Amino acid sequence: MGIESKFIWMDGRLTTYDQAVVPFLTSALHYGIAVFEGIRCYATDNGPAIFRLREHMTRLVESAKILGFRSLPFGVDELCQASVELVRANGFSSCYIRPLIYLSSPKLNLSLDDGEARVGIACWEWGNIYGDEVLNKGVRANISSYTRHHPNISMTKAKISGNYVNSFLAKAESERLGFEEAIMLDPQGYVAECTGENLFVVRGGQIFTTPLAAILEGITRDALIQLAADLGYSVSERMMGRDMLYTADEVFVCGTAAEVVAVHEIDFRSIGDGKTGPITTQIQTAFHDAVRGRHPRSPGWLTYVNL
């Protein structure tokens, strides 16, 4: 399973994978001035369906606004339509979709208004980011030595490409130390999020997650809050120190690429009984049903590609 596909959508039309290239002297490549999304399309009984497409494209356009683009060549409706067209053209039954809005400038300086926004959307077949085996087993994580973004240094509500240098630093450190994921603290020392996932804690039958101020407002996070409430759990936002993770009954992380995955060990301390816990399993199951069109929430969340 590589990242290849027959078609990539570039600036308003489908082009072949090989033709979807940008010049070496593109500002986005040199300075990280781009915004992106990660979206999943799942196989369902009614063919491929894209999960919360409109919410993802709205966040993409909002990320571009936060970064400072004054105008975009395409709006949310056109981007949603383009994604559907792209998945259909590639013929995938399930895939990951990656839209990117990037700065193309003839000057390669640091002036945003000297350039213009260009847009591409790719898709490819991609299983769980940690590997499918991990879905049951969970991951081992450490508290990163790198701090998550300060909200007045990098804009935490935007998926700005340059922001992900921080994620790469943390993830490389964790992986080289033998962990699968990094948990990052905010500049005050409270738990923020992971390199590309939001985080939940279960204690005494209640579910807690970190406040929104310094994290990306995950679309999976929002879905899980709704699914957990449907299951009768109270979910509240709470500032948490790392010690609250060590003594939790369950910890799980979520994101488009990671879906819902337990963290069974943090900093060499096993979490709960060191396995995916019962509440995590319940929420994981509800999420898997929802994205595959088998849950009461599915109709509101899925865009069917072939209907």
- Per CB under 6 A, the segment of 4-12, 195-203, 225-233, 260-268 that binds ligand PMP is 195-203
Q: How far is the CB of 198 from ligand PMP (least distance, A)?
A: 5
Are 215 and 151 in contact, with CB atoms under 8 Å apart? no
Q: How far is the CB of 170 from ligand PMP (least distance, A)?
A: 10
Options 171, 221, 264, 295; binder of ligand PMP; rule CB under 6 A? 221
127: Cα separation from own chain's centroid: 14
Q: Determine if 218 is a binding residue for ligand PMP (CB under 6 A).
A: yes
Among 138, 196, 277, 293, binds ligand PMP (CB under 6 A): 196
129/256 Cα distance (integer angstroms) = 9
99 binds ligand PMP (CB under 6 A): no
Calpha distance 3→275 (Å, rounded): 32
Round to whole Å and give the CA distance between 27 and 67. Answer: 14
Per-state percent for the chain, helix, strand, coil, to nearest 5? 30, 30, 40
Q: Look at residues 278, 256, 263 and name the one whose alpha carbon lies nearest to residue 143.
A: 263
Active site residue 159: yes
Which range, of 81-89, 99-107, 191-199, 237-245, touches ligand PMP by CB under 6 A? 191-199
**Is there binding between residue 259 and ligand PMP (CB under 6 A)?**
no
Residue 197 touches ligand PMP, criterion: CB under 6 A: yes
Name, in order, each residue with C-beta under 8 angstroms of 29's C-beta and a sequence gap of 6 or more. Answer: 22
Cβ 260 to ligand PMP shortest distance, Å: 10
Q: Which is nearer to ligand PMP, 114 or 217 (CB)?
A: 217
Residue 255 contacts ligand PMP per CB under 6 A: yes
Question: Rounded distance, CA 15 to CA 86, Å?
Answer: 10
For 256-298, strand residue ranges (E) read 259-266, 269-270
- Spatial distance between the Cα atoms of 62 and 95, rounded to a whole number of angstroms: 24
- CA dist 141 and 181 (Å) reads 5
Our finding on whether 298 is near ligand PMP (CB under 6 A) is: no
> Checking DSSP bridges between strand 181-185 and strand 139-143, what pairing results, if any?
parallel
**Closest CA relative to residue 105, chosen from 159, 30, 37, 10:** 30
Selected range binding ligand PMP among 125-133, 173-181, 192-200, 271-279, rule: CB under 6 A: 192-200
- Residue number, 105 or 149, with CB nearest to ligand PMP: 149
The nearer residue to ligand PMP, 7 or 221, going by C-beta atoms, is 221
Q: Output 104 or 195, the one with its CB closest to ligand PMP.
A: 195
Given the residues 65, 107, 159, 275, select the one marked as catalytic: 159
**Residues identified as active-site:** 159
Binding site for ligand PMP (CB under 6 A): 38, 193, 196-198, 216, 218-221, 255-256
